[in-house]
Structure 1
């Protein structure tokens, strides 16, 4: 199987006529993703890479059977794009856009949840199920189909981990970039639960970073709710307190949210923590060997 996206994904691209939208539409099509429609207000009737463009999501769904949307809309319009996709009945929405105001996302995330849709992001790299579908900006060439789930707050760190996994013949079931903003649509726990239920996924790699308490909450969830092995990697051990590092959510405040605190929580629950992206490979090998013995 896989989670979130697969060969049945029929993708709609919001913001398809923009620079980022058109570029990544081409990349997703080249990977084999079924991109069947695009939306840019005022640009209906055009085509981008052979994909028909509509003025609204509702119009696009009137002509197509899209079930997933990806948003490349500028930050000042992105929450409206999320509302539009939700109101049209899209069940999976992936928002790549960064720089969306936090209070806007508080309202949008609540709205999406109330309507029964699922939101990944914002400020994320998207989702890929290798060999099936790519919905995002990640380089498809570094991925390999397999049985490891990956969930991460960091896009570029995910690429490094995935590159090393693939290089050592460890494929992935699905890789999910949940985003690095303080308020996001899907948490570590949301994705871990999906991996726990997925028959293809045999082990999970969680990539966290400084700021907030999401990793600590995930560690407690893993300890109490999950049977599958999880390996953690936490970035930011050398980050100075009080300084934002890359992501809007990656800030240590009041002495909380440090990498050391997060690592200690995982270790408290006997969850292996890698010292580096390369060591993830060694820990994966060890936990899979142990699983095969039991």
Structure 2
């Protein structure tokens, strides 16, 4: 439960655990800021809160990602959305492709790891050839990721941004999925990603097709 999650994270870190995955949803933002400032300086890898965890198909699953609809492969996947993660992973499997590792960073406004943190891991992973990034409205994580990909990554990235029809000021599913003013819109994120040379799909199916094309071009 969210009300116990913060203390559980502190206890885990104090016990020497270096990787923390928080599936719980609903941690207050101020509490998560305290958790972040406690774990980050210690070099702790933290995913979440409000995330499905991490899965390497055929190897390990820590969290709630449904392994039975996914396949082993060489496409990395990092996402703010759990269900879109499963959908795109499934679409890849239907095309005879699979994932090296799938990482859910969480859909809350404050999370332990960012897109750029995970993209850096995929860049150095010799089992990953292509990366799919699944973003959504709210915040500026996708824009930061676009700058990182352009400056630091040699591996191709394909992206999807959920929330093109979301009305401003209304939270859509996740606490972090909210547009305020002109910031955080799906269109702004799409433009930033495309400006960095990232192909952006308009549906999960199209994203899988773009990833398949990209993987085929690198084969």
Q: With structure 2 as the length reference, what TM-score do the two structures score?
A: 0.98
For residues 212-251 of structure 1, the aligned pairs below 5 Å read 212-251=139-178
* 1:208 and 2:208 aligned: no
Q: Secondary structure at the match of 1:220?
A: helix
Deviation of 1:281 after TM superposition, in Å, equals 2.2
Distance 1:144 1:215 in 2: 26
Partner of 1:130: 57
Q: Secondary structure at the match of 2:132?
A: strand
* 1:139 and 2:66 aligned: yes
Deviation of 1:280 after TM superposition, in Å, equals 1.5
Q: CA deviation digits over 1:197-250, x for unaligned, max 9?
A: 000000000000000000000011000000000000000000011111000000
Residues 21 and 49, structure 2, Cα contact 8 Å, conserved in 1: yes
Unaligned runs of 5+ in 2: none
Q: In the alignment, which of 265, 269, 272 is matched to residue 196 of structure 2? A: 269
Stretches of 4+ aligned residues off by more than 4 angstroms:
none
Distance 1:89 1:117 in 2: 10
Count of aligned positions? 219
Query: Greater relative contact order (Cα 8 A, min sep 6): structure 1 or 2?
Result: 2
Partner of 1:255: 182
Deviation of 1:113 after TM superposition, in Å, equals 1.2
Distance 1:272 1:107 in 2: 36
Q: CA deviation digits over 1:33-58, x for unaligned, max 9?
A: xxxxxxxxxxxxxxxxxxxxxxxxxx
Residues 201 and 207, structure 2, Cα contact 8 Å, conserved in 1: yes
Distance 1:229 1:148 in 2: 10
Unaligned runs of 5+ in 1: 1-73
Name which one, 1 or 2, has greater alpha-carbon Rg.
Answer: 1
Distance 1:227 1:270 in 2: 11
For residues 93-242 of structure 1, the aligned pairs below 5 Å read 93-242=20-169
Q: With structure 1 as the length reference, what TM-score do the two structures score?
A: 0.73
